[in-house]
Amino acid sequence: MLEKIGAKIYEDTGVTASEALFPEPFRSGLEYAAPARGMWNIVHTGMLIPESHQIFVCAEGCLRGVVLTAAEMGAIGRLSSVAIREGNVLDGDMEELIIDGASDIIGKLPRRPRAVLIYTSCIHHFMACDLPRVYAVLRERFPDIDFIECFMNPIMRKSGLTPDQLMRRQLYAPLKPLPRDPRAVNIVGSDLPTDDGSDLCRLTRENGFSLNEIARMRTYDEYLGMAKAFLNISTYPSARAGAETLSKRLGQRHIYMPFAFDYGETDAEYAALAGELGVEAPDASAGRDAADLALDRAARTLGGMRVAIDYTAVSRPVQLARLLSEHGFNVTDIYLDSVSGEDRDAFDWVKGNLPWLLFHPTARPAMRVAPRGDGTPVLAVGQKAAYFTGSDRFVNIVENGGLHGYDGIAKLAGLIADAAETPKDARALIQIKGLGCSGGCCV
């Protein structure tokens, strides 16, 4: 039988806003992983490249998670592996292992892939593996295949770009310069397709621009055609660095437009986009009114019910807390392990205006044994918030859910109201890896 550790309340499970420090409200140390699995990983993201194949070269323990990610999304045929063993580390034959392993796999594939993503690991970094030579040999051996240098090296997550940022950058590595199309625009670096009804999609399309993003690409040639766009838009924080690199490399314009819960910032973003497109800035008043109406309606539906928000659902959880609070929601808890710079202003506002609000970590060891809910009904925005509060009333989205602009705020308010009225099976839903991935957008 399981030996229960007990129901003791631990210090590390929450801090009030008044006491919370920016940007790290909690100590670092050992880390726990809650069983909320909706966030995408590097396998899901890599699968967005049509007609591609992935080869991971790492130790068995690292392969396990990625192979089963592919299997669970129904794409085991698009991922292969090369296992690193102790002998490879000791014998110095790592380059040959990658070259021979990748060549062997490519030769056995039932269909020639247009691109092969090779994921090397922490081991290669520490061994100073000669990756340029590896790729040079493979490119010479398979000139019809684009080899994409990818990384599964979480040990580097605090050294420069994170693996997530790197993946979103490498996603566009095969794009080569093409004649510029002044009516083509890309959204780059987002895993999920941007909602067609969003202000972003409508502003571009209604002004006669084509809007492309990788989640909508069905063929490799279509994907390569993204190089024609004159403008790249990134909307997700970890997509920004890659979008800047791509834009600089291909001579494209770039604008960063995160999904903001601040009306002034939203107006400024759309005015900037209109400027890039050379069109008149949109009148935001109707969208703003609709967002306000939806928020007020949702607040009435909740009727004072506690609201908890986590960082996996939206990239600016503190800004969302502020917006909801200003519309009468009872926001009581935010789950995050650090506060992003984009949330700094909202963090300061919350400290001053909601000093009793609790920030909770998601990775501190004590969260493993923290009571999951106290019986009080909670509306959770995000899977981790649902898990930690034990709530079955939750908004099941990750990575902003494809929402953007005032339309996105209104739709999120609608999702909140709907979640308050319709319970969900949290245990079943939040353990599914890569929410939205096996729905067809990346397989």
Partner 1 sequence: MRQTARIISVYTADVSGVASALFELGGMVVMHDASGCNSTYNTHDEPRWYDSDSLVFISALTEMDAMMGCDDKLVRDVTEAARELHPRFVAIAGTPIPMMTGTDLEAAALRVERDTGIPSFGLNTNSMHSYLSGASLAFAAIARRFCDGRAEREKGSGLVNVLGMTPLDFSVNGSDGSIRAWLRENGFAVNSVWAMGGTLDEIALSGRADVNLVVSYDGLAAARYLKQRFGTPFVAGVPVGREFSRRLAGELARAAGTGADSAACTLRGDAPPKTAVIGESIYSGSLAAALWLQEGESARVVCPLETERGLLSPSDAEAMDEDDLIPALARCSSVIADPMYAPVCPEGCSFRALASESFSGRIYRDGIPNLINKKIELERTDTK
Binding site for partner 1 (CB under 8 A): 1-5, 10-12, 28-33, 35, 37, 58-65, 67-68, 71-72, 76-77, 80-86, 88-89, 97, 100-101, 104-105, 108-109, 121-123, 125-127, 152-159, 365-366, 368-369, 427, 431, 433
- Of the two residues 123 and 201, which places its CB atom closer to partner 1 in the complex? 123
Nearer to partner 1 by C-beta: 69 or 252?
A: 69
DSSP 176: -
**Of residues 31 and 296, the one with the C-beta less far from partner 1:** 31
Q: How far is the CB of 374 from partner 1 (least distance, A)?
A: 16
Give, for 171, the enclosing helix (H) or strand (E).
none
For partner 1, the closer CB: 67 or 419: 67
Q: How far is the CB of 406 from partner 1 (least distance, A)?
A: 35
Closer Cβ to partner 1, 390 or 414, answer by number = 390
Of 327 and 368, nearer to partner 1 (C-beta) is 368
- In angstroms, what is the minimal distance from the CB of 261 to partner 1? 28
Q: Which of 406, 223, 234, 415 is nearest to 309 (CA)?
A: 415
Closest Cα partner for 114 from 68, 145, 70? 145
Look at the chain and count its residues: 443
Closest approach, Cβ 156 to partner 1, in A, equals 5
Q: Least distance (Å) from partner 1 to the CB of residue 8?
A: 9
Instruction: Say if residue 29 is exposed, middle or buried (CB neighbours under 10 Å; 0-12, 13-18, 19+).
Output: exposed
The residue type of 83 is A
When the beta carbons of 5 and 356 are compared against partner 1, the nearer one is: 5
Output 153 or 212, the one with its CB closest to partner 1.
153
d(CA 315, CA 430): 18
Q: 4 vs 218, which CB is nearer to partner 1? A: 4
Distances 48 to 52, 74, 224, 282, 347 between C-alpha atoms, Å:
9, 14, 13, 32, 34
* Gyration radius of the chain over CA positions: 23
- Minimum Å distance from CB 123 to partner 1? 5
The secondary structure of 122-141 as a DSSP string is HHHHHHT--HHHHHHHHHHH
Q: Are 57 and 84 in contact (CB under 8 A)?
A: yes
| Side-chain-side CA neighbours of residue 339 (13 Å) | 23
The C-alpha atoms of residue 133 and residue 115 are separated, in whole angstroms, by 18
Looking at the Cβ atoms of 97 and 331, the one nearer to partner 1 is: 97
* Min dist. Cβ of residue 67 to partner 1 (A): 5
Sole residue written with tokens 């939203």: 266
Number of Cβ atoms within 10 Å of the Cβ of 93: 12
Which of 343, 380, 336 has its CA nearest to residue 359?
Answer: 336
Whether residue 313 contacts residue 395, with contact meaning beta carbons closer than 8 Å, is answered with yes
User: Taking the complex as a whole, how short is the minimal distance between the CB of residue 7 and partner 1, in angstroms?
Assistant: 9
CB 196 to partner 1: min, Å: 32
Q: How far is the CB of 77 from partner 1 (least distance, A)?
A: 6
Peptide bond into 355 cis (omega under 30): no
Q: Which residues of 410-426 are buried (b: 16+ CB within 10 A; e: fewer)?
A: bbbbbbbbebbeeebeb
